[in-house]
Amino acid sequence: MRIIIGVSGATGVIMSYYLLKALKEVEGCETHLVVSDYAKLNWELETNLPFQLLLDNADKYYDVHNLAASISSGSYKTDGMIIMPCSMKTLAGIVSGYTDNLLIRAADVCIKENRKVILCTREMPLSKLHLRNMHEAADLGCTIIPPMLTFYNNPQSLDDQINHVVGKTLMQFGIDHKSFIPWNGAN
């Protein structure tokens, strides 16, 4: 399995670290990471972790400005892409086909090749423009998974909330996440 992980400049970049750590535990899964310039800035603003820690959890890392990277071509086979978090700017670029960086180009390639594209969109509140763009992305075949709070799993920490989002996202690729607590019904 080969999955592209995109990290755009929305708040919540730490989620991408949890995602990569979870995928590192999946045997035979190869991750290809691309991080926007603003995601790097948000990493510095939102975490106390060195950026290299994020990179160390990916199998391959590409500069966001390298439009000649392997993941920019449909002939390079992948199983799809997860953008976590996905900023409204990145969402707009995807739905308009404005591929001015590798992150958006990789998503464009996955869409044109009918591969999975999961967008963990981050914004609050959502404007009609954001909702329209999410609708357009869904019409293009993308799956929208906003990182929403959950309570049925009795979360005790932010880690629990993030692991829930990661688990819901990985389910799209048929991957079980050990830290995900599914709903098992009421007794």
Q: Please give, one letter per residue, the 3-state secondary structure of the chain.
A: CEEEEEECCCCCCHHHHHHHHHHHCCCCCEEEEEECHHHHHHHHHHCCCCHHHHHHCCCEEEECCCCCCHHHCCCCCCCEEEEEEECHHHHHHHHHCCCCCHHHHHHHHHHHCCCEEEEEECCCCCCHHHHHHHHHHHHCCCEECCCCCCCCCCCCCHHHHHHHHHHHHHHCCCCCCCCCCCCCCCC
Question: Is 10 marked within a binding site?
Answer: yes
**96 carries a ligand binding annotation:** no
87 annotated as a binding-site residue: yes
How many whole angstroms separate alpha carbon 149 and alpha carbon 92? Answer: 24
36 is in an annotated binding site: yes
Residue 4 main-chain phi, psi, to 5 deg: -90, 135
88 is an annotated ligand-binding site residue: yes
Q: Is 11 marked as binding a ligand?
A: yes
Does 75 belong to an annotated binding site?
A: no
- Paired residues of 60 in beta bridges: 32
Going by the annotation, the residues of the binding site are 9-11, 36, 87-90, 122, 152, 168
Going by the annotation, the residues of the binding site for FMN are 9-11, 36, 87-90, 122
Going by the annotation, the residues of the binding site for dimethylallyl phosphate are 152, 168
